[in-house]
Structure 1
Amino acid sequence: MSTATITSKGQVTIPKEVREALALNTGDRIEFIQINNERFEIVAVNKDVTALKGLIKKPKKPVSIEEMNEAIAAQGDECSD
């Protein structure tokens, strides 16, 4: 387990093993996501958008803009209930 100390200015040095595990480099950004009142998750935001290529399979048939808009509207309707 890695630990760090907060400075009087609220700064923290991320331990080397954590930076290596998250593949963080100088200038990279991280997000703090609140899990509950006592926990936060640190997420590296250093992935290039091209790294997402292939993550989602191509649809069997092309989807039209109208179909996309209908799907978004339907999802919005479900969320407002």
Structure 2
Amino acid sequence: MSTTVTAKAQVTIPKAVRELLGITPGSRVDFHRAADGSVMLTRAHRKKPAGRFEQLRGHAGKGITTDAIMALTRGDGPSS
């Protein structure tokens, strides 16, 4: 399969390749250079697996104040 590069250096990925890789509008793709100099196109991973710290990330919730959070971390209980 071949395709033409546009004036903006863009190409259309042939339909057969898009279907094979599951590429849909908005998908991200990666280009990898092989040892022999050829270039491979792969579908980028949708989402990186969350790291151990990322899994713990969040928010304290609605309505809790900074003072209340600090009191809880110190073991004083919520402040009023």
TM-score normalised to the size of structure 1?
Answer: 0.52
RMSD of aligned Cα (Å): 1.9
The runs of at least 4 consecutive aligned structure 1 residues that moved more than 4 Å come to: none
1:41-67, Cα deviation, whole Å (9 max, x unpaired): 1010144457xxxxxxxxxxxxxxxxx
State how many pairs are aligned.
49
Which residue identity lines up with residue 43 of structure 2 in the other structure?
A
Q: Share of identical aligned residues, percent? A: 33
- From the two aligned structures, give the one with the greater helix fraction: 1
- Tell which structure's C-alpha radius of gyration is larger: 2
TM-score normalised to the size of structure 2?
Answer: 0.53
Q: In 1, Cα distance between the equivalents of 2:42 and 2:20? A: 11
Q: In 1, Cα distance between the equivalents of 2:21 and 2:3? A: 16
Q: In 2, Cα distance between the equivalents of 1:11 and 1:33? A: 17
Q: Secondary structure in 2 aligned to 1:13?
A: coil
